[in-house]
Amino acid sequence: MLRYMTAGESHGPRLLAIVEGMPSHLTVDVQKIDEALARRQKGYGRGKRMMIEQDRIEILSGVRHGYTTGAPITLSVMNRDFQSWEKVMSVYPPDDPEAGQRRRTRPRPGHADLSGAIKYGHRDVRDVLERSSARETAMRVAAGALAKQLLEAVGIDVVSHVRALGGIVSTVSVDMLSPQEIMGRSEASPVRVLDPDAEARIIEKIDAAKSGGDTLGGVVEVIAYGVPVGLGSHVQWDRKLDANIAQALMSIQAIKGVAFGDGFELASRLGSEAHDPIYYEAGRGYYRKTNRAGGFEGGMTTGMPIVVQAAMKPIPTLYSPLPSVDLLTKEAGGASVERSDVTAVPAAAVVAEFVLAFELARALLETFPADRIEQLVHYVEEHRRYTERF
């Protein structure tokens, strides 16, 4: 089973991930992982933290001479900002418990602060916010960047873009664009949208929100091309791949909704307008002319591109804070303020891209168990031939 676990705090010394189950002999391009981490840090509306951190991956185990060995892979990213937080985040008891601890006792509405404090008995929500911070997604991107290299070996491409930000919708359709065109246009935009007109209006809205001490949310879309038919299964609820992907995307900080294909729009259509008719052509096999289902039927991939959207709420840290209550005094006041972004929707698109990549890699290895990458490539190629002649 391919899986990973992350560890570390936002202002701790470093972030870590352990990836287990990666086949051996996969060529690992460290530069691609660094490029993925850099993409996550970009985007108009990001805060000053991104000017401090220049994330670079350090691989501590599981890779030798540029190849995976089959052993667990340990990934590490250093937090450069830790030098300013060393005493605050020290593992040792402080000499003066009252000095320079940067305590936060007024939880932010919309954040993990209050529920986490109650659950774990903390009177300082820093013990919650340091781990619940979206800084943790750096390691999900790193793990996903490894997985993406596995997907590339079997001909699967995963790309992302922003469909909407602050209520402004990009009207450019991806149906007539190649994965390379989507990636190129998305990367060229400071807000990762494909629509230049929407881009200009979004930037204006971000500036207005920043002036008002407010934040903005949006919708990101991730598309996977070249996914073979039959990943996932209909036979048990926890083997449905779209459900597993939805869970993974929902676990990204601030994501509040996930939809595949035409998503919630399908609920208002007639059945004749909601599904994807099936066609057959010798040498090509079964195919569809539409992809309203977003690449899934019955919890399994159909062979069409996987299209999934995730809705991100506005960031809960506001420079014009909402009302809250002090955990110690129970007095009303404004919520605590941490250094934050006006919007992280462009970054969320990148995070979602690599989270989806990892889930697809996991599903591939469940369907085609392989200890070596050449085995996996062989199994997938044979499955594609089987699908074409079925």
The pLDDT of residue 338 is: 81
Q: What's the pTM value of the predicted model, to 2 decimals?
A: 0.95
Express each pLDDT in 196-208 by its tens digit: 999 999 999 999 9
Amino acid at 369: P
CA distance 275 to 59: 45
pLDDT at 101 over 80: no
Known binder of ligand: residue 12? Answer: no
pLDDT at 99 over 70: no
Mean pLDDT of 25-39: 97
Known binder of ligand: residue 321? Answer: no
Known binder of ligand: residue 46? Answer: yes
Please return the burial class of 346, using the count of CB atoms within 10 Å of its CB with bins 0-12, 13-18 and 19+.
Answer: buried
Please return the burial class of 251, using the count of CB atoms within 10 Å of its CB with bins 0-12, 13-18 and 19+.
Answer: exposed
What is the signed CA dihedral for 44, 347, 211, 80, rounded to 10 degrees?
A: -90
Known binder of ligand: residue 56? Answer: no
Known binder of ligand: residue 316? Answer: yes
Known binder of ligand: residue 317? Answer: yes
The pLDDT of residue 94 is: 84
The pLDDT of residue 51 is: 60
Express each pLDDT in 230-277 by its tens digit: 999 999 999 999 999 999 999 999 999 999 999 999 999 999 999 999
Percentage of residues in the chain with pLDDT exceeding 90?
88
Known binder of ligand: residue 336? Answer: no
Fold type of domain 3-389 = Chorismate synthase, AroC fold (3.60.150)
Percentage of residues in the chain with pLDDT exceeding 70?
98
The helix or strand, by DSSP H or E, that contains position 6, with its residue range, turns out to be strand 3-7
Assigned token pair, 301 = 């991939």
pLDDT at 100 over 80: no
Known binder of ligand: residue 109? Answer: no
- Please enumerate in sequence order all residues whose Cβ is within 8 A of that of 95, keeping only pairs 6 or more positions apart, or say none: none
